[in-house]
Protein backbone atom coordinates (compact mmCIF):
# COMPACT_ATOMS: atom_id res chain seq x y z
CA UNK A 1 0.00 0.00 0.00
CA UNK A 2 1.45 3.30 -1.06
CA UNK A 3 -1.66 5.42 -1.53
CA UNK A 4 -4.60 4.83 0.83
CA UNK A 5 -8.03 6.41 0.71
CA UNK A 6 -10.53 6.37 3.59
CA UNK A 7 -14.02 6.94 2.22
CA UNK A 8 -17.32 7.65 3.98
CA UNK A 9 -20.38 9.77 3.40
CA UNK A 10 -19.85 13.04 5.30
CA UNK A 11 -16.09 12.91 5.93
CA UNK A 12 -16.80 14.66 9.22
CA UNK A 13 -15.28 12.12 11.61
CA UNK A 14 -14.69 8.49 10.61
CA UNK A 15 -12.51 9.03 7.57
CA UNK A 16 -10.78 12.04 9.13
CA UNK A 17 -9.82 10.03 12.20
CA UNK A 18 -8.70 7.08 10.10
CA UNK A 19 -6.56 9.39 7.96
CA UNK A 20 -4.84 10.95 10.98
CA UNK A 21 -4.18 7.59 12.62
CA UNK A 22 -2.95 5.99 9.38
CA UNK A 23 -0.61 8.91 8.68
CA UNK A 24 0.93 8.44 12.11
CA UNK A 25 1.52 4.72 11.45
CA UNK A 26 2.49 4.43 7.78
CA UNK A 27 6.06 4.62 6.48
CA UNK A 28 7.44 7.73 4.79
CA UNK A 29 6.29 8.01 1.20
CA UNK A 30 2.82 6.58 1.85
CA UNK A 31 0.04 8.98 0.90
CA UNK A 32 -3.15 8.89 2.94
CA UNK A 33 -6.38 10.71 2.10
CA UNK A 34 -9.91 10.90 3.42
CA UNK A 35 -12.98 12.04 1.50
CA UNK A 36 -16.76 11.92 1.62
CA UNK A 37 -19.43 11.57 -1.01
CA UNK A 38 -21.38 14.39 0.72
CA UNK A 39 -18.74 16.16 2.86
CA UNK A 40 -19.81 18.38 5.74
CA UNK A 41 -17.88 20.12 8.52
CA UNK A 42 -15.41 18.33 10.75
CA UNK A 43 -16.85 17.08 14.07
CA UNK A 44 -15.17 18.60 17.11
CA UNK A 45 -15.54 15.25 18.90
CA UNK A 46 -13.25 13.63 16.33
CA UNK A 47 -10.63 16.33 16.82
CA UNK A 48 -10.90 15.86 20.62
CA UNK A 49 -10.64 12.07 20.33
CA UNK A 50 -7.50 12.35 18.21
CA UNK A 51 -5.97 14.88 20.60
CA UNK A 52 -6.45 12.34 23.41
CA UNK A 53 -4.08 10.00 21.57
CA UNK A 54 -1.61 12.73 20.66
CA UNK A 55 -2.70 13.51 17.09
CA UNK A 56 -3.53 17.02 15.86
CA UNK A 57 -6.44 17.12 13.40
CA UNK A 58 -7.28 20.78 13.89
CA UNK A 59 -6.14 21.57 10.34
CA UNK A 60 -8.14 18.76 8.73
CA UNK A 61 -11.24 19.44 6.70
CA UNK A 62 -13.84 17.36 4.87
CA UNK A 63 -13.05 16.94 1.20
CA UNK A 64 -15.19 15.74 -1.71
CA UNK A 65 -14.29 12.66 -3.76
CA UNK A 66 -13.17 14.59 -6.90
CA UNK A 67 -10.23 16.09 -4.97
CA UNK A 68 -8.47 12.71 -4.90
CA UNK A 69 -6.52 11.36 -7.89
CA UNK A 70 -8.43 8.10 -8.42
CA UNK A 71 -5.74 6.69 -10.69
CA UNK A 72 -3.13 6.88 -7.90
CA UNK A 73 -5.12 5.24 -5.08
CA UNK A 74 -4.23 1.60 -4.63
CA UNK A 75 -6.22 0.83 -1.46
CA UNK A 76 -9.70 2.11 -0.57
CA UNK A 77 -11.19 1.55 2.86
CA UNK A 78 -14.87 2.43 3.21
CA UNK A 79 -16.10 3.30 6.70
CA UNK A 80 -19.85 3.03 6.34
CA UNK A 81 -22.40 1.29 8.51
CA UNK A 82 -26.16 1.68 8.18
CA UNK A 83 -26.01 4.24 5.37
CA UNK A 84 -24.99 3.23 1.86
CA UNK A 85 -21.29 3.39 1.12
CA UNK A 86 -20.20 5.72 -1.67
CA UNK A 87 -18.83 4.25 -4.87
CA UNK A 88 -15.29 5.15 -5.87
CA UNK A 89 -14.14 4.39 -9.39
CA UNK A 90 -10.60 3.32 -9.98
CA UNK A 91 -8.48 0.21 -9.92
CA UNK A 92 -7.78 -0.35 -6.23
CA UNK A 93 -8.02 -2.98 -3.53
CA UNK A 94 -11.20 -2.39 -1.53
CA UNK A 95 -11.77 -3.03 2.15
CA UNK A 96 -14.72 -2.22 4.39
CA UNK A 97 -14.79 -1.30 8.07
CA UNK A 98 -18.29 -0.71 9.36
CA UNK A 99 -18.40 2.24 11.78
CA UNK A 100 -21.56 4.09 12.87
CA UNK A 101 -22.27 7.50 11.32
CA UNK A 102 -22.40 10.06 14.10
CA UNK A 103 -23.00 13.09 11.89
CA UNK A 104 -26.34 13.80 13.58
CA UNK A 105 -25.25 13.02 17.13
CA UNK A 106 -27.20 15.05 19.73
CA UNK A 107 -26.98 15.73 23.49
CA UNK A 108 -24.71 17.76 25.74
CA UNK A 109 -21.07 18.19 24.80
CA UNK A 110 -20.05 15.55 27.34
CA UNK A 111 -22.76 13.09 26.18
CA UNK A 112 -21.71 13.53 22.54
CA UNK A 113 -18.05 12.98 23.33
CA UNK A 114 -18.79 9.84 25.36
CA UNK A 115 -21.10 8.44 22.66
CA UNK A 116 -18.63 9.37 19.95
CA UNK A 117 -15.71 7.76 21.76
CA UNK A 118 -17.62 4.57 22.53
CA UNK A 119 -19.15 4.16 19.07
CA UNK A 120 -15.88 4.82 17.22
CA UNK A 121 -14.02 2.26 19.32
CA UNK A 122 -16.63 -0.47 19.05
CA UNK A 123 -17.57 -0.34 15.35
CA UNK A 124 -18.31 -3.70 13.82
CA UNK A 125 -16.74 -5.16 10.71
Digit-coded pLDDT (tens) for 73-107: 999 888 876 556 666 666 676 666 666 666 666 67
Check whether 112 has a pLDDT greater than 50: yes
**Do the beta carbons of residue 18 and residue 79 sit within 8 Å?**
yes
CA angle 25, 47, 97 (to 5 degrees): 55
Q: Is the pTM of this model over 0.75?
A: no
Whether 102 contacts 45, CB under 8 Å? yes
pLDDT tens for each residue of 35-61: 988 888 888 888 888 898 899 988 888
Q: At what angle do helices 44-52 and 109-121 cross, to 10 degrees?
A: 60
- For each of the domains in the chain, give its residue range(s) and CATH number, in order of start: 3-121 (3.40.50.2300)
User: In angstroms, rounded to a whole number, what is the distance separating the alpha carbons of residues 6 and 15?
Assistant: 5
DSSP lists the bridge partners of residue 3 as: 31
Amino acid sequence: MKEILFLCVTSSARSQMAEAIARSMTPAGTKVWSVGSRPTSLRSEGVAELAEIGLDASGHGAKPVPEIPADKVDTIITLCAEEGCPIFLGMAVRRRRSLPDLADLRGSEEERLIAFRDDQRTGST
